[in-house]
Amino acid sequence: MKRQHIAACAGLGVLVGLAAATAGYAALGLQRSKRLARRARPFERSARAEGARLLVVGDSTAAGAGASAPESSLPGLLGRANPSLTVVNRAEPGARFADIAAQLEGDERFDAVLVLGGTHDVLHGTRDAALRESIQRVAQRARVRSEVVVFVPPGNLGNLRIFPPPWSWWMTYRARRLQALVADLAQANGARHVSLFLERDDDPFARHPRRLSARDGLHPNDAGYELWQRELETQAQLSAKLRKIGRAAAVRTPLP
């Protein structure tokens, strides 16, 4: 029994030492991510009056951090696929779900609402009860703005090279919890949930980090956002819905 106790204490000591040794690496990476996020320019566009209208809310991924240009962010790619689409983007880098709820204030109607967020709730360890309440509030306010609401929380952050073990284990646990909460509350509120979460062996961001991640190691780059868009279309068919709405609006709009 005494040997087991000594072994357990030794193992705990190794784990604590490993955490301390890698904390600085993760902290430096997060500082680079903050600088990158501050430079992001959210994609917005006022297109033809008869086109569909999309409201984008969320954090730095909704603002396009890591993309080479706003047009290469996920909202920008949606705009590229839908030339008549008007995009209103209220994203704020660093926003948690509690902050995203404030981005949805108002009663102006849109054809769709895209919610890109949750990264900072994972990074800062927002407690499950508070996170559930915030996601619920976001879902309810989004449904006031549109009948079509799509949530896209981040993938498995623990797979990113910015987080070595043991931080990667914690990030994976938190990211998995976030996915479960968003999936549950999206379904309960009539919204769609697009899951980007994959285990390490199946995750393209883990297998090809330099090809898909920005220089900070946290945000997607242009190719990463293109992968996100493919998942968005596969799981929620958002572009197809927006094009259909745009075509219907064009038919209803009389020619001058």
d(CA 146, CA 139) in angstroms, rounded, equals: 10
Q: Report H helices in 39-162.
A: 74-81, 97-103, 119-123, 128-145
* Closest by Cα among 114, 148, 152 to 241: 148
Residues 6 or more apart whose Cβ sits within 8 Å of residue 177 = 128
pLDDT of residue 15: 37
Tokens read off for 126: 């927002």
Residue type, 55: L
d(CA 33, CA 24) in angstroms, rounded, equals: 14
* Closest by Cα among 243, 228, 245 to 151: 228
pLDDT of residue 28: 64
Cα maximum dimension of the chain = 88
pLDDT of residue 29: 66
pLDDT of residue 87: 97
Which residue positions in the chain have pLDDT lower than 50?
Answer: 1, 5-21, 255
Sign for the CA dihedral angle at 20, 21, 24, 25 comes to negative
pLDDT of residue 62: 98
